Amino acid sequence: MTTPETVSPYRPLSGTEQSWYRAVPTGTGITVISLHLSRPIPAQILENAIHKLLNYHPILSSTLTPTSLSPVPSPPQIQTLTLENPNLSSIVELELNENPWDQPDRTEPVPTVFATVYNDSFLVLRLHTAVCDRVSAATVVKELMGILAGKDGAGAGVEEGRGSLGIEDLIRKEDSWKPFWARGKDLVGYSINGLRSSGLGFRDAGSDRRSEMVRLVVGEVQTRKLLAACKAKGVELSGALAAAALLATYSSKHLENNQPETYSMVTLINCRKFLDPVLTEKDVGFYHSGIVNTHTIYGKESLWEVAVRIHNAYSTAMSNKKHLTDIGDLNLLMCKAIDNPQLTPSSSLRTALISIFEEPLVYESSEVDRDLGVVDYVGCASVHGVGPSIAVFDTIRDGKLDCAFVYPSPLHSREQVSDLVEHMERILTEGSHGDDEVTAK
């Protein structure tokens, strides 16, 4: 394995990074972090803070090519824009659909980070997912806020070069090895399962697409009840959220005679603790992998019956190290879908019903938030290229469950997804009150 000491600032992209390089121009993998502030940040202070942030994490100053990653000397340009009657959700959606990386004729290097200030009240970072996964995005925004608030030392503890390799180069050989025949079998299995899986009904499969967002914020008391119910049932929050999504999707089909449907889901795993060397949240880059499972819903299952089934399938896959051995397989399938959209239902590029992170982000407001006047924030990524029908970005913020559900429009409509999310909330609320008979109906 290549050691950190031998890493050059110029290096080949890993397989996962190459996959994201190809996905982002299609519209998937535009990461957005948006802060609503009660008072403006002077432009020069913001520019200096971003300079310092990029010094902490040189990968964010990189230029991406189809095969390599190399540093560029200049930081991203900071834009200042004014909108009429802006709000956080509308700005997030606007940024999710700004794609500077979809310019094949552009000759000059494209930064991996862009910063925009709207109406002096909204600060937005837009990042290329190939160099910044969800954990990295959370680190970046916390450090930037710390720098802006004068709490320096945000980048302390980062061992230079440790996170400068791609995820595949940091997996132990014994953890990534898989026989050739097993790899072929898994590829066929993933393909067949994908073809036989159902999904959320399509509204308009022919028009150009954009990413839109529906947000759900659950009160502190109800969040405590839900987390307590998850603990009592021995499942992760992600399992409960996914189960509610599967049941709500089944219900939206209005099927007769309990006709079964099979749905694919992707659980996204933060692999930093499984790598060699072990990485921390301060090691910025893309270090997530996915586990794909399919689940058949008959319509009479309870929330917790499905959640336990999801948890068991995911746990078994983790025990078999599928999150490490199958990275290349899933990257290959994603790229095949990009190149051959006709292989997906209605050429929709939908590869699963839902994607969800293994663990939610946990965020507690601090003195830094108060100093900067942070009113609200949202972090998520676009999905209107290849990807699921619904991507869930869940955070426990100050004790409240805060979820951004991102979906491709008009493939799915806002009304359709809003109804689905409302049904999910009802299922979760009833289930967390001890009613174990909550079903899709």
**pLDDT tier for residue 88 given thresholds of 50, 70 and 90:** very high
Is residue 220 domain-shared with residue 140, that is, in the same domain?
Answer: no
Going by pLDDT thresholds of 50, 70 and 90, the confidence category of residue 153 is low
Residue 406, domain CATH? 3.30.559.30
pLDDT at 147: 95
pLDDT for the residue 6: 37
Task: Look at residue 4 in the predicted model and tell me its pLDDT.
Answer: 37
Mean pLDDT for 21-36 is 96
Average pLDDT over residues 239-263: 93
pLDDT bin (cut points 50, 70, 90) of residue 87 is very high
161 vs 200, more confident: 200
Of the chain, the percentage scoring pLDDT greater than 70 comes to 88
Residue 279: pLDDT band with limits 50, 70, 90 = very high
Same domain, 33 and 182: no
Q: Is residue 159 part of a domain?
A: no
Q: Average pLDDT in the 259-280 region?
A: 96
User: Higher confidence at residue 135 or residue 258?
Assistant: 135
Domain contains 437: no
Query: Is the domain of 203 the same as that of 312?
Result: yes
Number of structural domains (the chain) is 2
**pLDDT interval class at 152 (50, 70, 90):** low
Q: Are residues 141 and 250 in the same domain?
A: no
Is residue 440 in a domain? no
**Does position 8 have pLDDT exceeding 50, yes or no?**
no
One domain for residues 179 and 55: no
Confidence at residue 364, expressed as pLDDT on a 0 to 100 scale: 92
* 64 against 167, higher pLDDT: 167
Q: What is the pLDDT of residues 391-440, one digit of tens each?
A: 999 999 999 999 999 999 999 999 999 999 999 999 999 999 865 544 55
Q: Are residues 182 and 119 in the same domain?
A: no
Q: How confident is the model at residue 141 (pLDDT cuts 50, 70, 90)?
A: very high
Task: Kindly state the average pLDDT of the residues 279-288.
Answer: 95
| pLDDT above 70 for 298 | yes
Structural domain includes residue 361: yes
> Is residue 75 over pLDDT 50?
yes
Higher pLDDT, 106 or 16: 16
Query: Above 50 in pLDDT, residue 79?
Result: yes
| Cα-to-chain-centroid distance, residue 69 | 22
pLDDT at position 438 = 46
- Considering only residues 238 and 76, tell me which one the structure prediction assigns the higher pLDDT: 238
* pLDDT grade for 327, boundaries at 50, 70 and 90: very high
Provide the mean pLDDT of the chain.
89
Is there a domain that residue 163 lies in?
no
If asked whether residues 123 and 177 sit together in one domain, one would say: no
Whether 438 is in a domain gets the answer: no
Q: Stretch 339-365: mean pLDDT, rounded? A: 94
- Are residues 192 and 297 both part of a single domain? yes
* Average pLDDT, integer, range 269-290: 95
Q: Where residue 40 falls among pLDDT bands split at 50, 70, 90?
A: very high
* Digit-coded pLDDT (tens) for 187-235: 666 666 676 789 999 999 999 999 999 999 999 999 999 999 999 999 9
Both 187 and 285 in a single domain?
Answer: yes
Statement to judge: residues 229 and 109 lie in one domain = no
Are residue 122 and residue 271 in the same domain, yes or no? Answer: no
pLDDT exceeds cutoff 90 at 61:
no
Domain co-membership, 199 together with 141: no
Q: What is the predicted pLDDT for the residue at 71?
A: 72
Asked if the structure places residue 164 within a domain, the reply is: no
Is 441 within the bounds of a domain?
Answer: no
In the listed set 148, 178, 198, which residue is the last one of a domain according to the structure?
148
pLDDT at 1: 39
Kindly tell me if the per-residue pLDDT of 47 is higher than 70: yes
Q: How confident is the model at residue 9 (pLDDT cuts 50, 70, 90)?
A: low
pLDDT at 5: 38
What residue numbers bound the domain in which 75 lies? Answer: 4-148
